[in-house]
Chains A and B, each alone.
Chain A
Amino acid sequence: MPKRHSPDVVIIGAGVVGAACAYYAARSGLTVAVVDRGPVAGGTTGAGEGNLLVSDKEAGPELDLALLSTRLWRELSATLPPETEYEPKGGLVVAPDEPALRALRAFAEGQRAAGVTATEIPADRLADLEPHLAPGLAGGFHYLQDAQVQPAQAAARLLAASGAALHLGEEVTAILRDPASGAVRGVRTARRELLAPAVLNAAGTWGGEVARLAGVPLPVLPRRGFVLVTEPLPRIVRHKVYAADYIADVASGSAALQSSAVVEGTPGGPVLIGATRERVGFDRSLSTEALRRLAAQAAALFPVLADVQVLRAYHGFRPYLPDHLPAIGADPRVPGLHHACGHEGAGIGLAPATGALVAAALTGTAPPLDPAPFRPGRDFGPADTVPPQEQQS
């Protein structure tokens, strides 16, 4: 039997949330081991666009978490290497017509009260921010705090900076618990036992399976998204640009496909167009309908894109909980078990604040913001109704 290690915490999941938790836990003086059945960033992180958005979140706990993350990402960008590609490019949310603009204005008003910097851009000034934007839009809002990172690099560099012991390609087969107290004692993989007084479930979309290993339910469900990637282009899209109905999609619990293309350039040259939101389980087949909608909406925002080549399309599975908030912190049902999963499409953006909350919970120090809305023991509400035969196209 391989030798036993005794870190202070074992983190299950080498995605960006697990990496950020490892980073902040290590910075709090804890020794950390990270276990993942795949490579670094092998799940939803690797399929993400790297959005650090405040613009799409209405005033409330998730927005508070996003605003804290925005500050932490700015700090991190000073210490992480440039390959992380942190870019505080800002977001531009446009409204196609007057009613949408009025709704957006009310939405932004609430966000401003929570600390968001949102500036209304009249229709005739949109071209100053985005010269290739389609004519005829009613106006928009410029969100200075929206930013971007390269997600796989962000996860890998946070992990490297954490100094955590990495056990990649090792699936956790059991969460060990003390027979008397029920408290967690560590995890078992095919290759070793890692004993620790705390285990953090940062398994993202697969967080429900990990919770089950500890004997508790956690209703994390997958929500599929497709992203289109164009050929490398000169910088023709400067911000994260999307249409106002995207905000409605994020808050929606509907199972039907909804999309509103977020269009953005990348330092590498390609333009990313994403993402659709469908609840179709872990279905990996290509949806031409999803691609059609993304393409149509991107071309409607930026007509110049109609003639560029789409080089690839990929999909990922966002982890979501029925009330659309992540589960962060100690699980009251199992002493020593912590969760940090269910961030839906916002895991990259929310990772640092999540890591800071987890580190505070592990060390018993004061949290940087009120963790109550994210407590894993809360009532998640009813699971969204899923049609028996979910459409795949």
Chain B
Amino acid sequence: MTTSPSEPRPAPAPVDLAVVGAGPAGLAAAVTAASLGLTVALLDAGSRPGGQYYRHPEPALGAARPKALHHDWAAFAGREAELRAHARGGRVRHLAGHQVWSVTGSGTDWTVHARTDDAGAESVPARAVLLATGAYERHLPFPGWTLPGVVGAGGAQAMLKSGLVLPGRRVVVAGSGPLLLAVAASLAAAGARVPAVVEASGYVPYARHPGTLLRNPAKLAEGAVHGGALLRHRVRPLLRHAVVEAHGTDRVEAVTVARLDRDWRPVPGTGRRVPCDAVAVGHGLVPELSLATALGCATRAAADGTVALVLTPGLRTSVPGVWAAGEAGGVGGAPLALTEGEIAAHTIAGRAVPPALVRRRARLRAFADVMGAAHRPGPGWTGWLREETAVCRCEEVPAGRVREAVEDLGATDARTVKLLTRAGMGWCQGRMCGPAVAALAGDGPSADRRPLACPVRLGQLAELPALPVD
């Protein structure tokens, strides 16, 4: 078949640094690197900087005070202003609406391949790459979780921040992790009733690390603010409990809440029904590592049960020329991400890292590890799945099929379950079902393996510049 290879295009001059992701880590890194004299390309899928955390209301909504839903909006607004100044000065190219599907290259010769919102393409050459790819929500399925009205806790927060929309009028908040209190407080403040906040973990593990907690007064204050807000709305978290089933036909009408044992196994006979018209459920976040693992960056098992990147104190990955900051190195929240973005910018620019940044990072990382370990899902949670409960929503694979692959067909890991059942082969590429499939396979968490970090139009791949072949 004769195909006409595209004419090699003249390559644009490489920037000193390509930053993937304009959330807290990427934004902080881009402005810091630019202020240290580097030329920077900042690529992000969103139309405005801020990522999932600093989410903007749609302009059409005319929200007067977006900061009312955010902590520390000033930290963001200041950097956004700096970004605009650097962009005007030609030191930063902010490529909004650019979703990166692959990074290729080595050493000081990288190409960042992106798809654009208007079905276009851009390949950005760079001397160094910083991955600030953030995280996505960890979902643990339960019977009824596919009913309309069941939303992710982070998704509920995002709906509030970007659309000022409530997922329902009576919203049960469930799962595990510090986000639950924040979401419940936001929902209550926005006018929803929150009949229950259901937390699978106890808060007891925190008490084993009093030093780490006391060194993080801002975190304690944040918790107190949420707790106070909830008390005002007469909401008390129910510890060591979980939503083990959602009921309803066209939409969720109630949930069953049951007590859990130490391993998160539901205790028989403890279930009770709580009427509601929405459920916001979340089990923390999973680092988004598709680009990093495709490059071969080494990973580690993090305290929260997820897989994160191995990073040096200067935030280098194991691949020379590639740095990472924020959630990719282990979920730790926006203040840590901002700090790490600044640290990475310094080491990329070859500058000494200010000691205050190093201290702040150490303190916030230690806190994140305590939190992560406290909310790590117990192995018994799969006890609330039924054979017919969908595990992979994209490919409609029920738990029974996954168990058959493991027990009868020789699958000993999540990848083989995928090959045998299609779980994880759909649109989300296993981001939704990955943790659940790994748990059912009796496998530890495994690193994302997605050579394409997001879907790409076939025609765009076909139009990549042709490379000569010997």
Contact = CB atoms under 8 A, between A and B. Distances in A.
9 contacts: A39-B411, A39-B413, A41-B416, A228-B458, A295-B458, A299-B459, A307-B458, A311-B426, A313-B452
By size class, the interface of chain B is 35 or more
Give the 9 A-B CB pairs with smallest separation, nearest first: A40-B410, A243-B1, A295-B461, A152-B419, A306-B459, A295-B462, A309-B455, A156-B409, A39-B416
B469 A391 contact: yes
B411 A40 contact: yes
A295 B459 contact: yes
A27 B250 CA distance: 52
Contact of A14 (B113, B410, B413, B458): B410
A289 B467 contact: yes
B1 A245 contact: yes
Interface stretch (A66-74, A181-189, A280-288): A280-288
Nearest to B394: A232
A298 B412 contact: no
A166 interface: yes
Interface string A81-92: 000000000000
Given A256-B469, A288-B102, A166 B410 contact: yes
A289 B468 CA distance: 9
Contacts of A270: 425
B456 A285 contact: no
B104 A288 contact: yes
A42 B409 CA distance: 12
A85 to B, nearest CB: 11
Contacts, number: 151
Contacts of B458: 228, 230, 295, 298-299, 305-310
Contact of A314 (B451, B462, B469): B451
Contacts of A391: 469-470
B233 interface: no
Please tell me the size bucket of the interface on A: 35 or more
A156 B420 contact: yes
Interface of A: 14, 38-42, 46, 94, 96-97, 152-153, 156-157, 159-160, 166, 168-169, 228-232, 243-245, 256-257, 260, 268, 270, 284-286, 288-289, 291-301, 305-315, 387, 391, 393
Contacts of B425: 229, 268, 270, 311-312
Interface in B403-426: 405, 408-413, 415-416, 419-420, 422, 425-426
A288 B5 contact: no
B40 to A, nearest CB: 23
Interface of A is mostly: mixed
Contacts of A298: 458, 462
B102 A286 contact: yes
A312 B409 contact: no
B295 interface: yes
A309 B452 CA distance: 11
B470 A256 contact: yes
Contact of A289 (B1, B295, B427, B466): B466
A168 B442 CA distance: 14
Nearest to A156: B409
Contacts of A97: 2
Contacts of A152: 416, 419-420
A301 B462 contact: no
A295 to B, nearest CB: 4
A257 B466 CA distance: 13
Nearest to A268: B422
B461 A292 contact: yes
A315 B450 CA distance: 11
A299 B461 CA distance: 10
A262 to B, nearest CB: 12
Contacts of A295: 458-459, 461-462
Interface string B1-38: 11101000000000000000000000000000000000
Nearest to B111: A288
